[in-house]
């Protein structure tokens, strides 16, 4: 490869259509990093929308630098993860550290924005737009520093991992992680750049979401004994889930490092019946629970399932033999409980200078990497309080802090760095 190719900047394709390309420069940020953030935000990757255009744009820009990307798709073909490696100076591609982020964003439907959410805009020291905080800010700053990663004499490789469908239950990253494991690639650590105000997060809860369908038997409402009311039995199950949540809130276990220091559960949506004068034959509802990582989520679900099948269902079938209760898992992501002794924890604490123990109730993909033996930690720009809201933003100062952190990280990964 020519010297020109080795030193050429990693630039995203220009956008001729958008005010996004008119973002003003910021004295504390490299123009390249900010340009990457604005370009990523300008592409609508709401989870229901294919992200392949964004992924292919990143793939092509990396290819111009001689960096090969591996894409993993789901069955739909229009959604993909990207995994790329900047090798160590000796060509080594195994080991090293992953910089991880999800490319999907939540919908803007029904939200009152003061500007177009997909035309990023700087106002009063903040970059506004869907995904600026969660979490294209981190991805963009990492991409902007790829030339510096390549110019460094890396002792160990740096990997970039971009995923899809994180916002609907971390559904995309497992495809990528399975492919890495199949290749025998075993990173030594992972930094997930979710918004944490650039403070290390060492633990988060697990996410478990289910859909339940309660099937009864329809009848005219004047003949209720001839029917089986699915809504009423679904209500009993929903109340059981609430009772379970109340018990966990009352009895624990507890971890006071969390803002909500116990496992939670709730019913989120419900629908059933078709007319006021008909005994409803079906009721469907969705529920979730967020477990402390020290608790087994399967054991929690087993308590709900056991009540449904051993207590409610026999009662229902005495009224009508065709009664049924069926559960479908919608989403599942394991919790994270990082070891303070792990090298990646020590590294991020050293780079940030932050020794406080912080744990959060929201989930990330860090638990997925940790589950396959890749020690992980969460640290990225922005405040989670700004995520998912109208007028989502990230402070430019946070992007600047992220850039400084990543530069320190690159130096720490280089030959001759002090442990």
- Using an 8 Å Cβ cutoff, are 206 and 359 in contact? no
Tokens of 284: 């469907």
Please say if 114 is a catalytic residue. no
Q: Could you give the residue ranges of the DSSP H alpha helices within 187-296? A: 230-251
Q: How far apart are CA 53 and CA 44, in angstroms?
A: 10
User: Among residues 44, 104, 188, 288, which one is catalytic?
Assistant: 104
Residues 340, 357: Cα–Cα separation, whole Å: 9
Strand 278-279 relative to strand 219-220, pairing: antiparallel
Annotated catalytic residue 104 = yes
Nearest to 69 by CA among 77, 78, 57: 57
Give dist(CA 235, CA 383) in Å, integer. Answer: 37
Q: In what order do the strands lie in the sheet with 393-395?
A: 121-123, 126-128, 393-395
Q: Cβ distance 278 to 219 under 8 Å? A: yes
Residue 164 to residue 76: CA distance in whole angstroms: 12
- Which residues make beta-bridge pairs with 282? 215
Closest CA to 291 of 253, 256, 329, 320: 253
Query: Among residues 44, 121, 166, 395, which one is catalytic?
Result: 166
DSSP-derived secondary structure letter, 311: I
Which of the residues are catalytic?
104, 166
């Amino acid at each position: 490869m020519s010297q020109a190719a080795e030193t050429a900047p990693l630039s995203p394709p220009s956008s001729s259509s958008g005010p996004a390309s008119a973002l003003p420069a910021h004295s504390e940020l490299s123009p390249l990093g900010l340009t990457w953030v604005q370009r990523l935000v300008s592409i609508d990757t709401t989870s229901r929308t294919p992200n392949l255009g964004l992924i292919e744009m990143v793939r092509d820009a990396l290819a111009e630098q001689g960096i090969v990307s591996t894409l993993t798709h789901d069955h739909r073909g229009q959604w993909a993860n990207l995994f790329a490696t900047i090798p160590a100076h000796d060509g080594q591609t195994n080991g090293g550290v992953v910089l991880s982020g999800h490319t999907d964003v939540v919908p803007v439907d029904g939200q009152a924005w003061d500007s177009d959410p997909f035309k990023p805009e700087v106002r009063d020291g903040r970059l506004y737009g869907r995904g600026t905080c969660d979490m294209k800010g981190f991805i963009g700053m990492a991409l902007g520093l790829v030339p510096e990663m390549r110019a460094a004499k890396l002792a160990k490789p740096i990997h970039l991992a971009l995923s899809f469908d994180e916002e609907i239950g971390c559904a995309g990253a497992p495809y990528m992680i399975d492919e890495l494991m199949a290749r025998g690639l075993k990173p030594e650590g992972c930094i997930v750049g979710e918004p944490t105000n650039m403070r290390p997060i060492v633990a988060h809860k697990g996410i478990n979401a289910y859909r339940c369908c309660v099937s009864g038997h329809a009848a005219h409402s004047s003949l209720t004994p001839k029917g089986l009311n699915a809504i009423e039995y679904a209500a009993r199950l929903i109340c059981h889930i609430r009772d379970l949540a109340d018990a966990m809130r009352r009895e624990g276990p507890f971890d006071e490092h969390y803002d909500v220091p116990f496992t939670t559960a709730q019913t989120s949506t419900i629908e059933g019946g078709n007319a006021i004068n008909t005994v409803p034959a079906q009721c469907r509802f969705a529920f979730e629970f967020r477990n402390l990582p020290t608790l087994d989520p399967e054991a929690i679900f087993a308590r709900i399932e056991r009540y449904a099948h051993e207590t409610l269902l026999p009662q229902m079938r005495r009224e009508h033999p065709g009664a049924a209760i069926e559960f479908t898992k919608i989403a599942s992501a394991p919790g994270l409980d990082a070891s303070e002794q792990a090298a990646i924890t020590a590294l991020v604490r050293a780079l940030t200078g932050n020794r406080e123990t912080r744990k959060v109730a929201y989930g990330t993909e860090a638990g997925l990497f940790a589950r396959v033996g890749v020690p992980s930690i969460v640290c990225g720009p922005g405040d989670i309080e700004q995520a998912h809201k109208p007028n989502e933003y990230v402070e430019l100062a946070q992007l600047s802090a992220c850039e400084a952190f990543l530069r320190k990280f690159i130096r720490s990964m280089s030959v001759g760095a002090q442990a």
